[in-house]
Structure 1
Amino acid sequence: MTTPTYNPARTGLLFVDPYNDFLSEGGKLWPRVKEVAEQVRLIDNLKAVLETVRARNIQVFIVPHHRWEPGDYQRWKHPNHTQISSGRIQFCAKGSWGGEWRPDFAPQEGDVIVKEHWAQSGFANTDLDQQLKQHDVEKVVLIGLIANTCIESTGRFAMELGYHVTLVTDATAAFSPEMMHAAHKLNGPTYAHAILTTAELIAALQTEPSAVD
């Protein structure tokens, strides 16, 4: 893969699931991703990507998971294991601290908050595709959690819809190094157009695009 250039007017950052339950000490999922997150310096890298993106006037799209409410999934025909588990622990419950944005990553004025996704893809049953098209976005950059579920599913769906997809290997995390390997080394190349580190992405974002980008 070659490193692409990014026209700020045609690029969108998809920040998936920046909730306390995912990214903060005391969050319900944080203990499961903490080891990998600390190995890749996830929080520092998320901050660096956001800072660069905002400086370049690239549109930020917050792509949030459904926040649990009482009664969720109880009468569903086919809830998956993750949905059942999230109901059991009231994961990212609406109105709870865990269901609030991590303060460093809270949406800012001008950010687009996409409708909440119920499973793994940020596109399924949401307005993400419509929002990207209305903002004239052609290239999407994915950061956030989790590498082998929501990031992968959203990125694969984006490719199917015709978007150029960039994964950022150290601006996401998973439950284990094996899952990170699967997400970036095995599955990523089957749909992503670029797989970069945070440093590589920032360098590319700071490169002036040509007229055709």
Structure 2
Amino acid sequence: MSESYDPRRTAVLLVDPFNDFLSEGGKIWPRLQAQAEEVGLLDNLRSAVASAREAGVQVLFVPHRRWEPGDYETWDHPNPTQRSIMKTHSFARGSWGGEFHSDFQPRPGDVVVQEHWGQSGFANTDLDFQLKQHGISHVVLVGLLANTCIESTGRFAMELGYHVTLVRDATAAFRPEMMQAAHELNGPTFAHAILDTGELVAAIEGGKA
């Protein structure tokens, strides 16, 4: 699939780049490590974000809710991930694990949107508003997890009328079958393009002309 991206209308959505996900010593890294290393996740995220910034593509950080004491405890219907966070305190506010990875820090001009409580970066946040204010029509999703927050955010983006791109090797999941579901089974039902990082970088470069 040949794609090109107008940098004035394109945004890279960097989802949940927390130390707990991406760094040695992170609470969730051991579950992701095999798949992350197999696809070259960290290098591909670096390449995708650097290429976007160089081309003038808007970068938005789309973070999960950072856990705080009392979160979810009085809710009627916390989801399985939220129940797990109640026990493990992943992404705890004020902790190292709840900070963004050192290679993925917001820079001037980047946008950090409101934290999402569930899996979609759009639900109960200002992501749609921020994209509209920046004139964005095309969103490229990278980060974590392929079959949860990336998929949910991508589906929501499609429903709102955005052109959606998934990047196979700039995300990861806990098991190979989750990656397969995200990119071979579910992704084609809502995404307009499913690329690898090399294809994405070439498409961004092509859009600068």
> Matches of residues 1-20 of structure 1 in structure 2 within 5 Å?
2-20=1-19
> 2 CA distance for matches of 1:108 and 1:187?
33
Q: Contact (CA 8 Å) 2:14, 2:143: kept in 1 or not?
A: yes
> 2 CA distance for matches of 1:166 and 1:3?
12
Shift of 1:87: 1.1
Shift of 1:109: 1.1
State the partner residue of 1:121.
120
Mapped pair 1:192 → 2:191: yes
State the partner residue of 2:142.
143
> 2 CA distance for matches of 1:146 and 1:205?
23
> Matches of residues 32-51 of structure 1 in structure 2 within 5 Å?
32-51=31-50
Mapped pair 1:86 → 2:85: yes
User: Deviations for 1:68-101, whole angstroms, at most 9, x for unmatched residues?
Assistant: 0000011001001110101101110000000011
Deviating above 2 A after TM superposition, structure 1's stretches of 4 or more consecutive aligned residues are none
Shift of 1:52: 0.5
State the partner residue of 1:21.
20
User: Deviations for 1:99-152, whole angstroms, at most 9, x for unmatched residues?
Assistant: 011010011111100000001000000000000000000000000000000000
> 2 CA distance for matches of 1:10 and 1:81?
36
Scaled by the length of structure 1, the TM-score of the pair is 0.97
> 2 CA distance for matches of 1:8 and 1:82?
35
Question: Letter of the aligned partner of 2:144 in structure 1?
Answer: L
**Alpha carbons of structure 1 residues 82 and 103: separation in structure 2 relative to 1, 3 Å:** same
Question: Letter of the aligned partner of 2:112 in structure 1?
Answer: I
Shift of 1:3: 2.2
> 2 CA distance for matches of 1:91 and 1:162?
32
> 2 CA distance for matches of 1:51 and 1:92?
25
**Structure 2 residues without counterparts, runs of 5 or longer:** none
State the partner residue of 1:153.
152
> 1 CA distance for matches of 2:93 and 2:207?
41
Mapped pair 1:183 → 2:170: no
Shift of 1:209: 6.1
> 1 CA distance for matches of 2:79 and 2:72?
9
Question: Letter of the aligned partner of 2:156 in structure 1?
Answer: F
State the partner residue of 2:130.
131
> 1 CA distance for matches of 2:170 and 2:79?
26
> 1 CA distance for matches of 2:206 and 2:81?
40
> 2 CA distance for matches of 1:25 and 1:119?
25
User: Deviations for 1:41-80, whole angstroms, at most 9, x for unmatched residues?
Assistant: 0000000111100100110000000000000011001001
Scaled by the length of structure 2, the TM-score of the pair is 0.98
Aligned length: 209
Q: Contact (CA 8 Å) 2:58, 2:110: kept in 1 or not?
A: yes
State the partner residue of 1:99.
98
**Structure 1 residues without counterparts, runs of 5 or longer:** none
Shift of 1:208: 3.5
> 2 CA distance for matches of 1:54 and 1:100?
21
